[in-house]
Amino acid sequence: MASVGRPIPAVTPDMAGFFEGARRGQLMVEKCDHCGALRFPAHDLCAKCLGRGATWVPVSGRGEIYSFNIMHQVYHPAFAAEVPYAVIVVKLEEGPKMISNLVGIKPHEIRIGMPVEVTFERGGEDLMIPKFRPRAR
């Protein structure tokens, strides 16, 4: 499995809803309880209205490539066999952006604007982690 040895994210209390959703196969973002603005990753308060309190809500999992890079330098041993690999920024249909990886495509075939959809892979022993794959427009 490609992800063996990758640094597994800690499930911090503020991100618990994200990982619970992922386990159900749902991509989640935070929704401000006051003004309804969507955000990712989790924040203690809303940068738009400064309201406290937010609820994790599912989104479509669809979006497009907003930007990407192709990593050649190895910063962590788990990636030594993977370079060059791409890291993408997805702009979700609902607005928020997410950093992720794109599966099912070679790094140099990635283009900004490419439509993508979420897919999930197992990370570590008990986490599901969202990645993205190309989709038809």
Partner 1 sequence: MTTDLRAKCAIAGLGQTRMGKNFDHPNAMGFAIEAIELALEDAGLSREDLDGLLVNPGVTWMENAMASFSLQQAMGLTDLTLTATMNLGGATAGAMIMHATQAIAAGMANVVACVFADAPLRPPSPEKGKAAGGSAAAYGFARGLNAYYGQFGVNAAYAFVAQRHMHLYGTRQEHLGAIAVAERDWANLNPAAQFYDAPMTMADYNAARWVVEPFHLYDCCLVSNGGLAVIVTSAERAKSLKHPPVYILGMGQGHPGGDPMDTLVSGAPLAKKTAFKMAGIELGDIDFAELYDCYTFTVLVTLEDYGFCKKGEGGPFVEGGRIGPKGSLPVNTGGGQLSSFYMWGMTPVAEAVVQMRGEAAARQVPRHDIGLVSGNGGILSTHSTLVLGANP
Which spans of this chain sit near partner 1 (rule: CB under 8 A)?
A: 3, 6-10, 12, 15, 41, 66-73, 75-76, 79, 82, 84-85, 87, 89, 97, 99-101, 112-113, 123, 129, 131
Beta carbon nearer to partner 1, 21 or 123:
123
- Beta carbon of residue 60, minimum distance to partner 1 (angstroms, whole number): 19
Beta carbon nearer to partner 1, 56 or 68:
68
- Write out the H or E segment, with its range, that includes residue 130: strand 127-134
- Beta carbon of residue 132, minimum distance to partner 1 (angstroms, whole number): 10
CA angle 61, 4, 60 (to 5 degrees): 5
Beta carbon nearer to partner 1, 13 or 113:
113
Q: Can you tell me the distance from the alpha carbon of 81 to that of 3, in angstroms, rounded to the nearest whole number?
A: 11
CA nearest to 118, candidates 95, 100, 105 = 100
Q: Can you tell me the distance from the alpha carbon of 18 to that of 85, in angstroms, rounded to the nearest whole number?
A: 25
- Beta carbon of residue 61, minimum distance to partner 1 (angstroms, whole number): 16
Residue 94 tokens read as: 């609902």
- Beta carbon of residue 66, minimum distance to partner 1 (angstroms, whole number): 7
Residue 64 tokens read as: 């497009």
Beta carbon nearer to partner 1, 54 or 102:
102
